[in-house]
Amino acid sequence: MLANGLGPPATAQAPWWVRHALEIVLVGCAVPRLVLAATDQGIFYPDEIFQSLEQAHRMVFGYGCIPWEFQEGARSWLLPGTLGVIWKAAALMGVSSATTLVVLAKGVMVAMTLAGLYAAMRLAKRLAGLDAALLTGLLGATFPGSLIYGHRCMSEVPSAALIAFSTLLIVDSHRRALLVAGGLATVTVFLHPPNGVFALSVLVYLVVTGRRMDAAFFVAGGALGSVGPGLLDWWTWGQPFHSVITHVQFNLLEDKEPGVWPLSYYVETAWTSTGAWILIIAVGAAASWRRARGLVSVPAAFVVVHSMVVLKQYRFVSSIVPVLLAMAGVGLVTIIEHLVTARAPGPARSKKKTPREALRKGRRSSGKGSRNGRSAADSGSAASPGRSVSAWALALGAALSTLMGFKDANATFASTGQWADGPEGRESVWHHWEGVNRSLWDAGTRDDLCGVLISGMSEIWSGGYSYLHRDVPLMGIDAVHASRLAPFANYLIGHTEVPAPSGYVSVRSFDAWSLFRRDGACAPPPPGYSRKFWNPRHPPPPAER
């Protein structure tokens, strides 16, 4: 029989696919993300390049574009520094291809995404058994808020993994686990300061549920976890916690402009990106309340507080997605158990325990069985309702995963909450402007390269030097000015429908973009050329404009 969510732990006598069910589902989650890491070189948002890859490139190879956050210290070096260490190790082993380096970094992000989903499955299993874990994994396999971002080098990706593991640890009562949970929660704040909402929500949750000593250990772990990133800020920015302080000051204290998006932005975007199936997930999360002792309040508070902030992007709440999916898995299995038990014959129904009774009895049992929420005596015979629970849970998970997969395939920027009112909103999130980045890859391999122009696009929407991987001028310009700046570059990347300046000949095409080349050398960069992206609120000095 299937190992049902509240049944006994899998043993050596169970079929191999039961004993390794979580790993099998995790492989299913990994396949599409690894394919995207290798094939999708488009851009969803510039941060996935210039707040991570580009800074890692500067760290390892000494050149790259510098956004204002890394001029004023509004970002920690934690993420780009980690990627930089990985790239440095790869370079020492002889890796010199920009293609390999970028795919390697994206692969690291996929690994972090999978770690977060694995922690979510473990959390669901801890609260409601294997059925809930498998359902959580199936939801996570194609949930748009996870799949779309899961291979991109954004701070929300490692944040999601650390938040999921932190949540998994706080359901335990071991003091050491609470210390680690607090430390992980603090690290997420340095990755993306608004993640502090998660840490505060957990603290309130622990206090309200009467776990005051656990709350104290969580805070102690947070203090310990801040030491490393704080020292990193001190080393890189000259002041401990400089990145967090500057980020909060800029985005909360200085940002007095009215919000562009309504309070309902995240709810509306969840609907447009996921479809009506988000209602089932939401109902499941709400139904987890009793079994999880109100833990769902933590991700709920995360979304509510983010909804009240002026600046909104759907990716900002993607950090909490694995935990939300775990809660949904727990709640949906709880609902299925009640429905199956209600339809069962009298004797089977009388033996069925409520979720809280099952969890209480499971905790009293010894060994790993206590983690599954029901003792072996409740597993029943082959005719028990447990098999029906497992079958319905897997069927529901597979159906929702398939339906969300269709939404993924047709995802646009508008459906994911970006450019909803403009023509760009109708464009697919997959392989967006990929031709520019593949052209940069190609240009970087050419021996005669001395400068690159990107016609019709700012370089901030390109892969930058992370893709070009050559220390030559890189300029994004309006198409009408391409001819004027032609002397400063011998390669130009332009849209295939826009004629190239005189003297340029197409050498290769990538989708709707082409790489053009002209004969001759390059003139020195024009006056005012800079690799810095300036803060619009803090314009550069006249000499650098």
Which segment, 167-176, 218-227, 261-270, 310-319, is predicted with the most confidence on average? 218-227
Confidence of residue 343 (pLDDT cuts 50, 70, 90): confident
Which residue(s) pair with 453 in the sheet? Answer: 475, 492
Angle at 430 between CA 427 and CA 433, to 5 degrees: 70
Angle at 327 between CA 301 and CA 281, to 5 degrees: 95
Give phi and psi for 515, each to the nearest 5: -100, 120
Q: Which helix (H) or strand (E) holds 509?
A: strand 505-510
Nearest to 31 by CA among 151, 134, 135, 120: 151
Tokens of 25: 């589902």
Three-class SS of residue 263? coil
Identify the weakest region by mean pLDDT among 226-230, 257-261, 535-539. Answer: 257-261
Q: What would the pLDDT profile of 408-427 be if each residue is shown by its tens digit?
A: 999 999 999 988 777 889 99
User: Taking a C-beta distance cutoff of 8 angstroms, is the pair 296, 303 a contact?
Assistant: no
Which segment, 318-327, 335-344, 485-494, 521-530, is predicted with the most confidence on average? 318-327
pLDDT at 244 > cutoff 50: yes
Confidence of residue 387 (pLDDT cuts 50, 70, 90): confident
Percent of the chain whose predicted confidence (pLDDT) is above 70: 85
Please report, for the chain, the start and end positions of each structural domain, with discontinuous segments joined by +.
Answer: 434-544
Query: What local confidence, expressed as pLDDT, does residue 516 receive?
Result: 96
pLDDT at 383 > cutoff 50: no
Tokens of 181: 């949970």
Please tell me which residue, 147 or 457, carries the higher pLDDT value. 147
Nearest to 62 by CA among 87, 25, 34: 87
Query: What local confidence, expressed as pLDDT, does residue 147 receive?
Result: 96
For the CA atoms of 427, 432, 435, 438, the dihedral, rounded to the nearest 10 degrees, stands at -170
**Residues whose CB falls within 8 Å of the CB of residue 247, separated by 6 or more in sequence, listed in order:** 69, 74, 75, 193
Q: What would the pLDDT profile of 145-156 be if each residue is shown by its tens digit?
A: 999 999 999 999
Confidence of residue 5 (pLDDT cuts 50, 70, 90): very low
Q: Is 315 exposed, middle or buried (0-12, 13-18, 19+ CB in 10 A)?
A: buried
Q: Which helix (H) or strand (E) holds 477?
A: strand 474-477
Which residue(s) pair with 514 in the sheet? Answer: 494, 509
Query: What local confidence, expressed as pLDDT, does residue 342 receive?
Result: 77
Percent of the chain whose predicted confidence (pLDDT) is above 90: 72
What is the Cα–Cα distance from 386 to 3, expressed in whole angstroms?
8
| pTM of the full structure | 0.89
Query: What local confidence, expressed as pLDDT, does residue 482 receive?
Result: 73
Q: Is 523 left (phi over 0), alpha (psi -120 to 50) or beta?
A: beta
What is the Cα–Cα distance from 415 to 429, expressed in whole angstroms?
9
Query: What local confidence, expressed as pLDDT, does residue 541 receive?
Result: 57
What is the Cα–Cα distance from 110 to 118, expressed in whole angstroms?
12
Please tell me which residue, 527 or 363, carries the higher pLDDT value. 527
Question: What integer is the mean pLDDT of 90-94?
Answer: 96
Q: Is 245 left (phi over 0), alpha (psi -120 to 50) or beta?
A: alpha
Mean pLDDT across the chain, nearest whole number? Answer: 87
Give phi and psi for 474, each to the nearest 5: -130, 120
Confidence of residue 6 (pLDDT cuts 50, 70, 90): very low
Confidence of residue 498 (pLDDT cuts 50, 70, 90): confident
Residue 309: C-alpha distances to residues 185, 198, 472, 545 (Å)? 20, 15, 40, 32
What is the Cα–Cα distance from 539 to 278, expressed in whole angstroms?
43
Which segment, 87-91, 252-256, 390-394, is predicted with the most confidence on average? 87-91
Q: What would the pLDDT profile of 156-211 be if each residue is shown by its tens digit?
A: 999 999 999 999 999 987 889 999 999 999 999 999 999 999 999 999 999 999 99
Token pair 């158990």 in the structure block, residue: 337
Tokens of 394: 């897997």
pLDDT at 48 > cutoff 80: yes
**Residues whose CB falls within 8 Å of the CB of residue 484, separated by 6 or more in sequence, listed in order:** none
Q: What would the pLDDT profile of 97-112 be if each residue is shown by its tens digit?
A: 999 999 999 999 999 9
Length of the chain: 545
Tokens of 136: 């959580």
Query: What local confidence, expressed as pLDDT, does residue 523 receive?
Result: 93
Three-class SS of residue 147? helix
Assign 3-class secondary structure to 4-69.
CCCCCCCCCCCCHHHHCHHHHHHHHHHHHHHHHHHHCCCCCCCHHHHHHHHHHHHHHHCCCCECCH
Query: What local confidence, expressed as pLDDT, does residue 208 receive?
Result: 95
pLDDT at 375 > cutoff 50: no
What is the Cα–Cα distance from 213 to 220, expressed in whole angstroms?
11
Tokens of 124: 């669901």
Please tell me which residue, 424 or 405, carries the higher pLDDT value. 405
Query: What local confidence, expressed as pLDDT, does residue 100 receive?
Result: 97
Query: What local confidence, expressed as pLDDT, does residue 179 receive?
Result: 97
Question: What integer is the mean pLDDT of 293-316?
Answer: 93
User: Taking a C-beta distance cutoff of 8 angstroms, is the pair 251, 311 a contact?
Assistant: yes
Q: What would the pLDDT profile of 476-496 be if each residue is shown by its tens digit?
A: 887 667 778 888 999 999 998
Confidence of residue 281 (pLDDT cuts 50, 70, 90): very high
DSSP-assigned letters across all residues of 219-231: HHHHHHHTHHHHH
DSSP alpha helix (H) spans, 249-365: 265-274, 277-287, 297-307, 321-343, 346-351, 355-364
